[in-house]
Structure 1
């Protein structure tokens, strides 16, 4: 069962938690309305829609946070198996004379608006972008094994990017941009081989971007707005070194060695000249006392 609530009608209400009475609800599209209040049940229980695979609640006025166990009961999104009745598509309704009907859903996927005529039952997306949600992203999001898109952008989420996202092996699109997330980008994200679109721009992330093929092939705009983030595809290197600036000596200290050298040169020159002059006089003029001193020295030292 699908519940689309979008178009020219603008709904102004709280989140319709009463829909949990629909046990086979597979998709709920409430985007671009004036829904407000918390997106989690008032008693902070897990998401109460076990068969829900598509959540589109973007561009509303939802507030509050997601409890840590929010995704625990999302049974359908936690499995990669086809429904027990063998249906391949959501809304695969059979009518007399063999006619089959498929609902059409407008989705936002990889930053683009896409009209889906047939949606596989294994297809799972979660889009609550463009609201006023805050708090940490719960680690229980890692239980959504069949999730192919997660869009939490344009909110006020804080804390770290959940390490458990590395367990969402089918993930193709991840948008966490324009929040207040901190810490590093989990290294496990580089192992997500289907991740074709990632955007973590305009947060408070730091450290090196994981150097996986799927990540470094993204445009640098997907990582901009994080002052302490470095590594490809950004131009900012993580291995830059800065030599300490040379300390400039005061003018007085720089001139002192020069002055000392000049003083030494002035004293050394005349002394050397006087010594050579005395030696020359002694060599050319032999006074009478010189042989006497030399003979006395020889008698004492035969």
Structure 2
């Protein structure tokens, strides 16, 4: 209860862990952290702190864990924390952080992060792809065998609250191989980039309850360590990639409340998921939903063509030509002719076709006159 005394920060020069979790502390976080301090962990979660983050946190160059979850902080995204060279856990969940997430200030911003949690705030604008793509620690799988290691030291091991597989769970110990991103319950928009598939050591990904659009990228099939994925309550379109069904570690998936279409892929993991995890996609069908699929399985859907284009293997001209040839032969021929005629390289062909068309029209008129005279 009460406020945090300012004098406590002067002791931070000798502290390595400052854990004040669940104490109903209110007011602002003191503005001054001592220079050259030894703080490794700051856990102020589940209190009533308000106001903004003090910039003097940059004096804490040894910080590995910052947990300010479940408070009343009202600030913009503290991108300047990305300059802390050892930061592995950043939890700002359930506060009142707001506004756009601006571009990273440093080339290696947040590069050491294992847990990145901005969930349940008022952040808006495009999905912060530029930050996600700098999470280099999540890009490499640790193939070393041996004793499990946890964050912390011999005297204190860190813990953190995470939303895992749809449930809030406190990890009393944090494995060094544990990695997760949770940007759920904000107002982020835009599309998931193909580069999301580079985060190959990622265990959990939660982008639910935002305004994300476009297709689920095929590259998500590269996340072979992924154990839970929540993309529910967005505006994703197209079909569910088969690559998702091939992820053998995926134990939880929620794609409900989107605009997904066509049959749900079949696979070992997908066969265990309940129907409510796919619900409220009006044009989605197949097991475990009660709606059966009536489309011809041999038919190549338009969304598949568009998704293949999304992988970047074809040029604009190539996929546009495919799309224009998708309908009946006559429409396809006219459309393809339009593309060719629009090119300066084939101006000679334009004249040839026009001349041929004029001859056909003359012949048709002559035949019509003869028929009339007869």
Is this a same-fold pair by TM over 0.5?
yes
| Map of 1:60 onto structure 2 | 121
Counterpart among 238, 241, 250 of residue 186 in structure 1: 241
Contact 2:104 2:131 in 1 (8 A): no
Counterpart among 182, 206, 221 of residue 276 in structure 2: 221
1:91-110 to 2 correspondences below 5 Å? 92-94=152-154, 100-110=155-165
Q: Measure how far apart 1:69 and its partner are.
A: 4.8
Q: Measure how far apart 1:120 and its partner are.
A: 1.1
| Map of 2:253 onto structure 1 | 198
| Map of 2:74 onto structure 1 | 12
Asked if 1:2 corresponds to 2:65, the answer is yes
- For the aligned residue pairs, the C-alpha RMSD in angstroms reads 2.1
Residue segments in structure 2 that go unaligned for 5+ positions in a row: 1-63, 297-374
1 CA distance for matches of 2:99 and 2:176?
Answer: 30
TM-score (norm 1): 0.72
| Map of 2:229 onto structure 1 | 174
1 CA distance for matches of 2:165 and 2:198?
Answer: 21
1 CA distance for matches of 2:81 and 2:254?
Answer: 32
Q: Measure how far apart 1:67 and its partner are.
A: 5.6
Contact 1:202 1:226 in 2 (8 A): yes
Counterpart among 181, 186, 189 of residue 134 in structure 1: 189
1:1-302 to 2 correspondences below 5 Å? 1-7=64-70, 9-41=71-103, 48-66=109-127, 69-81=130-142, 88-90=149-151, 92-94=152-154, 100-239=155-294
Residue segments in structure 1 that go unaligned for 5+ positions in a row: 95-99, 242-302
Q: Measure how far apart 1:137 and its partner are.
A: 1.2
Contact 1:82 1:122 in 2 (8 A): no
| Change beyond 3 A, Cα 1:39–1:68 | closer
Higher relative contact order (CA 8 A, sep 6+): 1
Contact 1:142 1:166 in 2 (8 A): yes
Q: Measure how far apart 1:129 and its partner are.
A: 0.4
Q: Provide Cα deviations, 1:168-209, integer angstroms capped at 9, x if missing partner.
A: 001010100000110111110111001111010010000111
Alignment coverage as a number of residue pairs: 231
Q: Measure how far apart 1:166 and its partner are.
A: 0.3
TM-score (norm 2): 0.58
Q: Measure how far apart 1:93 and its partner are.
A: 2.1
1 CA distance for matches of 2:143 and 2:66?
Answer: 21
Contact 1:46 1:71 in 2 (8 A): no
Q: Measure how far apart 1:237 and its partner are.
A: 1.1
Which entry has the higher C-alpha Rg, 1 or 2? 1
2 CA distance for matches of 1:103 and 1:67?
Answer: 27
| Map of 1:251 onto structure 2 | none
1 CA distance for matches of 2:187 and 2:276?
Answer: 23
